[in-house]
């Protein structure tokens, strides 16, 4: 860790009366209710930012420089996207921004406003994402599982644009994703299986 790094900014959050407790966010989203995340005490520089996440507009009351990762995890209680490094080096925090893989730990919510964010929570609703997840299970890819949401998001982005990836294509698309358990061969095999399923 860099000297002086205090870790991610944490705050106490609560949700609007529509979804008054964090564990009700998913239920509210599933039932089409509006979700607004805000802090119990407004800080200087905080604004209400509307983010389109998994096809739903959600409002986040936070500093515009807040990374998408922390808006998802801390504000909206969507914990499928993981914190790995905070410097866009490991890929654990990968989400799709307008169908392109991005590292949410360094993407400010101000840059994501007005764009479509897709997270691991919704990837199963996508034909390509479902094929990738099924292949992941078939090849028993996850070990500890921590990096897997980012791996699945990157693999899905690859197969959306390239249904017959070569080993070099897979290596290039997945190069920003680190698996500390070393399941790279299984990841490659799963991507090839998903590609065959989609062919």
Domain ranges of the chain: 13-122, 126-198
CA distance 158 to 50: 28
Choose among 135, 133, 95, 137: nearest CA to 116. Answer: 95
Same fold, 13-122 and 126-198: no
Per-residue pLDDT of 58-99, as tens digits, reads 999 999 999 999 999 999 999 999 999 999 999 999 999 999
**Six-digit token string for 128:** 């390509």
Banded model confidence at residue 35, pLDDT cuts 50, 70, 90 = low
pLDDT at 56 (0 to 100): 96
Q: What is the pTM of this model?
A: 0.79
Per-residue pLDDT of 93-141, as tens digits, reads 999 999 999 999 999 999 999 999 999 999 999 999 999 999 999 999 9
Residue percentage of the chain with pLDDT more than 70: 77
Domain 13-122 is of which CATH architecture?
Answer: Roll (3.10)
- Kind of pairing, strands 36-39 and 56-62? parallel
* CA contacts within 13 A on the Cβ side of 166: 2
Domain 126-198 is of which CATH architecture?
Answer: Orthogonal Bundle (1.10)
């Amino acid at each position: 860790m860099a000297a002086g790094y205090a870790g991610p900014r944490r705050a106490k959050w609560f949700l609007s009366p529509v979804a008054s407790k964090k564990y009700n966010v998913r239920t509210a989203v599933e039932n089409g209710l509006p979700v607004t995340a805000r802090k119990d005490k407004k800080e200087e520089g905080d604004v209400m930012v509307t983010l389109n996440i998994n096809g739903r507009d959600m409002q986040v009351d936070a500093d515009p420089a807040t990374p998408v990762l922390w808006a998802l995890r801390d504000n909206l209680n969507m914990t499928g996207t993981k914190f790995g490094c905070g410097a866009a080096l490991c890929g654990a925090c990968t989400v799709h921004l307008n169908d392109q893989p991005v590292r949410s730990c360094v993407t400010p919510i101000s840059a994501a406003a007005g764009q479509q964010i897709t997270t691991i929570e919704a990837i199963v609703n996508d034909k390509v994402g479902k094929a990738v997840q099924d292949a992941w299970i078939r090849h028993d890819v996850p070990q500890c599982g921590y990096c897997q949401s980012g791996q699945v998001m990157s693999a899905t982005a690859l197969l959306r644009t390239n249904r017959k990836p070569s080993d070099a294509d897979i290596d290039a698309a997945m190069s920003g994703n680190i698996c500390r358990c070393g399941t790279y061969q299984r990841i490659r095999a799963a991507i090839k299986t998903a590609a065959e399923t989609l062919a």
